[in-house]
């Protein structure tokens, strides 16, 4: 089905472990984004990408790594997870003609 999908939807891990959240979109959108959502903070931008092999930091990039080897995929990696990274993570994409972001359903990550 067309759209933007995230996996896993739910993940529990331990402090210090590496975790990768996947994001895949079928629209061939140029732009892709990762946000985290926490109570009291709304949605905060972690990283974004304007095209394959181009990434840039957002508001809260520390502790995260991204890559964009293919237009349709934008994985987010926590190289050594910390409890403060417990959150709901949303991936989003958009084309070049509009500012509207299309969001995935979110990945809920718990770091114990």
Partner 1 sequence: GESVGLHLPTLSVQEGDNSIINCAYSNSASDYFIWYKQESGKGPQFIIDIRSNMDKRQGQRVTVLLNKTVKHLSLQIAATQPGDSAVYFCAESQNTDKLIFGTGTRLQVFP
Q: How far apart are CA 88 and CA 109, in angstroms?
A: 6
Cβ nearer to partner 1, comparing 2 with 39: 39
**Pairing assessment for the beta strands 4-7 and 54-57 based on DSSP bridges:** unpaired
Q: Which tokens go with 18? A: 């590496």
Contact 61, 46 (CB under 8 A): yes
Numbers of helices and strands, H then E, in the chain? 0, 11
Cβ nearer to partner 1, comparing 85 with 93: 93
Cβ nearer to partner 1, comparing 71 with 103: 103
- Interface with partner 1 (CB under 8 A): 33, 35, 39-45, 48, 58-59, 90, 92, 98-106
């Amino acid at each position: 089905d067309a759209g933007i999908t995230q996996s896993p939807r739910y993940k529990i891990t331990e402090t210090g472990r590496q975790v990768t959240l996947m994001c895949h979109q079928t629209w061939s959108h140029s732009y892709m984004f990762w946000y985290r959502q926490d109570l009291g903070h709304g949605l905060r931008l972690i990283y974004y990408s304007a095209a394959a092999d181009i990434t840039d930091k957002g508001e809260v990039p520390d502790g995260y790594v991204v890559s964009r080897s293919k237009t349709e995929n934008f994985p987010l990696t926590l190289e050594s997870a910390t409890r403060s990274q417990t959150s709901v993570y949303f991936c989003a994409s958009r084309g070049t003609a509009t500012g509207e972001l299309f969001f995935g359903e979110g990945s809920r990550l718990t770091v114990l």
